[in-house]
Amino acid sequence: MNSMSMVRILVLISALAFFAAGISSAEDVDAAIDEEAEAVYGVVINNASWVDEYVEISNLGEFAQDLTGWTLKDEQNHTYAFPESFTLEPGGTVMVHTGVGNDSAIDLYCNMGNPIWNNAGDVATLMDAEGNIVSQYPEPEEDLNDAEDAEPTEDAE
């Protein structure tokens, strides 16, 4: 192999390495944006039951979080607005139920007469007072190509 071919190969390898590093950095930025909302508030949707019609929200942060103006919605845009001055304490958890009931520090009720969550699967989205997505359950898949490449689970068989 002559020296000119060797130089071309090194330039090509360097360009590919630079390109791959750029992709990795872009993915890191996307992940950092999602993590930023959680880091700012520390509030996440950590569980849901579409059949039993509830969503569980926890404050994993160090500070109490006032949820005034925050909303919880499903994929069909059924929207629940948190009560005025509702505060989720650090380490606290609240269950948001679709049905009718009396609100407390650990249970909130949408007071809807009919189920809203799709039993076959739905997405719960928690948004702050400015309309920013704080948390989603289940978390959105990062890349559809990654899902296609993933190993099948036992449930999929």
Residue 128 pLDDT: 96
Q: Verify that 53 and 102 share a domain, yes or no.
A: yes
For the stretch 30-79, pLDDT in tens is 444 445 555 568 999 999 999 999 999 999 999 999 999 999 999 999 99
Between 80 and 113, the more confident residue is 80
- Tally of domains within the chain: 2
Confidence of residue 8 (pLDDT cuts 50, 70, 90): low
Residue 143 pLDDT: 44
114 pLDDT higher than 60: yes
What is the C-alpha R_g of the chain? 22
Among 57, 61, 68, which Cα is nearest to 40's? Answer: 61
With respect to residue 147, please indicate whether it lies within any of the assigned structural domains. no
pTM assigned to the model: 0.67
Q: Verify that 33 and 52 share a domain, yes or no.
A: no
Could you tell me if 119 and 109 are in contact, meaning their C-beta atoms sit under 8 angstroms apart?
no
Q: Verify that 68 and 87 share a domain, yes or no.
A: yes
93 pLDDT higher than 90: yes
What is the residue range of 128's domain? Answer: 43-137
Q: Verify that 14 and 76 share a domain, yes or no.
A: no
Q: Verify that 62 and 89 share a domain, yes or no.
A: yes
Terminal-to-terminal C-alpha distance of the chain: 51
The rounded mean pLDDT for the chain is: 79
